[in-house]
Amino acid sequence: MKSIVLKSGDGGEGFKPELAEMAVPAPGPGELVVRMEACGLCGTDLEKMRGEYTASMPVLGHEAAGIISSVGEGVTAFKEGDRVFPHHHVPCYECYVCRAGDETMCDMYRKSNILPGGFSEYFRVPEWNIVKGGVLPLPNEVTFEEGALIEPTACCLRGIRKHAKAGETVLVVGAGPVGLMHALLLEPMEVKVVISDISRPRLEFAEHVRLGLVLDASRDDVPARLKAETQGRGADLAIVASGSKAAIMQALGSIRKGGRVCLFGVPPKGSVLGYDISALYNSGQQIVTSYGANDVDTKAALRIIASNQDFARLVTHRFPLSKFDEAVAVASGGEAMKVVLTP
């Protein structure tokens, strides 16, 4: 089978993706093997290739959906031919951190994964992921492309559930796929959504989808515009759907006294933010984070995607595994929204 795997880059910096021929995995006891039908290319995949993302093992492809091709001994909940979305990271739901509601910080969460990764014609789903509820049946009315959107949508949903409130003004910094997913999820909450970015194609896409006030951060004074939109206060919440320090600084300058900045995009390893902490303290502002999703989030995301076709519109580019390098180039160029790989 064809599979995209990471090899150490020259000089030990970053990793190089390679298209490899591998044997189709066989399921062990309690395991599944899934034939991949669609897998989204995530910004964290790009960061792993650059050696900037170290939060979990360097496995490429985690936004996958497909059809079960073989079932291991002892598996009764699924059968060959079932359409599924398998979540790559699954917590224990039993430890102190899980019971405190921080399941994505569970020690087991990032140790679990689909192997050799979602950018493979076939991949193995460990028993852990199955018994802990990490595999969802995919209804026939949900396409595999839409199934590939479940994981990123669930991650966005988790952050919104934890940090957003109805009736607020929310700035989404970054008009990429996860930025617009946030906007789509915020819309039913009757919040005032403001989206900022520096990419003209992405801003035009956001304007076309009509998800709120769209600001070009390369030309607009975003903090000033936020204050003008809120009687001088600023946004209640800023969701930073980017890992850049400039985006974080823009968010901090755009929120009101007592407001919150949610770091959703993953800052590259070694990122240091120069900020006057006394200003943070004196304004009562908070910096919070949101990482990953659990089974409650993925189930909710599946229900939302099944009832809202706007999510499917976020997929703008499709590539076979054999053109993975081209897919990466397009995803890195700032003009694409969601890029999806197929076998």
Domain range 2-149+311-342, CATH class: alpha beta
Q: Is the pLDDT of residue 78 over 70?
A: yes
Residues in contact with 276: Cβ distance below 8 Å, sequence separation at least 6, in sequence order: none
CATH superfamily for 156-289 is: NAD(P)-binding Rossmann-like Domain (3.40.50.720)
Q: Once rounded to an integer, what is the mean pLDDT over residues 216-220?
A: 96
Residue 13's pLDDT band, with cuts at 50, 70 and 90, is low
Q: What is the pLDDT of residues 290-338, one digit of tens each?
A: 999 999 999 999 999 999 888 999 999 999 999 999 999 999 987 899 9
Q: What is the pLDDT of residues 113-132, one digit of tens each?
A: 999 999 999 999 999 999 99
- Both tokens of residue 22? 């591998």
Q: Once rounded to an integer, what is the mean pLDDT over residues 236-248?
A: 95
Q: How far is CA 69 from CA 36, 66, 142, 199, 255, in A?
A: 10, 9, 19, 41, 50
Residue 211's pLDDT band, with cuts at 50, 70 and 90, is confident
Domain ranges of the chain: 2-149+311-342, 156-289
